[in-house]
Amino acid sequence: MTDEQSTAAWSGLVEWVAWLHDRYELSIQSRLPECWPQHPGIIEELWALKMWREALYTSDTETGVLTGHEAGGLAQHARYWHTDLRNLFTQMTFYAERCAAEHGGGRRLADRSKTDLKTGWLVADPTGGIPAPAAGAEAAPTRAPRLAAADMHRRLELGSARSLDRDHAYSLGDWWTRDTEAGDWVKITDPEMHRRLDNLAAAETEH
The 3-class secondary structure across 69-113, one letter per residue, is HHHHHHHHHHHHHHHHHHHHHHCCHHHHCCCCCCCCCCCCHHHCC
State the average pLDDT over residues 171-180. Answer: 87
Mean pLDDT score across all residues of the chain = 77
The three-state secondary structure class of 207 is coil
Q: Which pLDDT score is estimated for 108?
A: 61
Report the chain's terminal Cα–Cα distance, integer Å. 39
Q: Which pLDDT score is estimated for 112?
A: 58
Q: Which pLDDT score is estimated for 101?
A: 42
Q: Say how many CA atoms lie within 13 Å of 87 toward its Cβ.
A: 8
State the average pLDDT over residues 61-67. Answer: 53
Q: What percent of the chain has pLDDT over 70?
A: 74
Q: Which pLDDT score is estimated for 47?
A: 94
- Taking alpha carbons only, the member of 145, 152, 189 closest to residue 167 is 152
Answer yes or no: are the C-beta atoms of 17 and 46 closer than 8 Å: yes
| Gap between the Cα atoms of 41 and 180, Å rounded | 49
Q: Which range is least confidently modeled, 7-11, 75-79, 105-109?
A: 105-109
The per-residue DSSP string of 170-202 comes to EETTEEEEE-TTT-SEEE---HHHHHHHHHHHH
Q: Which pLDDT score is estimated for 132?
A: 64
Q: How confident is the model at residue 49 (pLDDT cuts 50, 70, 90)?
A: very high
27: phi then psi, degrees, rounded to nearest 5: -75, -20
Q: Is pLDDT at 200 greater than 90 in this prediction?
A: no
State the average pLDDT over residues 98-113. Answer: 53
State the average pLDDT over residues 158-165. Answer: 84
Angle at 156 between CA 153 and CA 158, to 5 degrees: 110
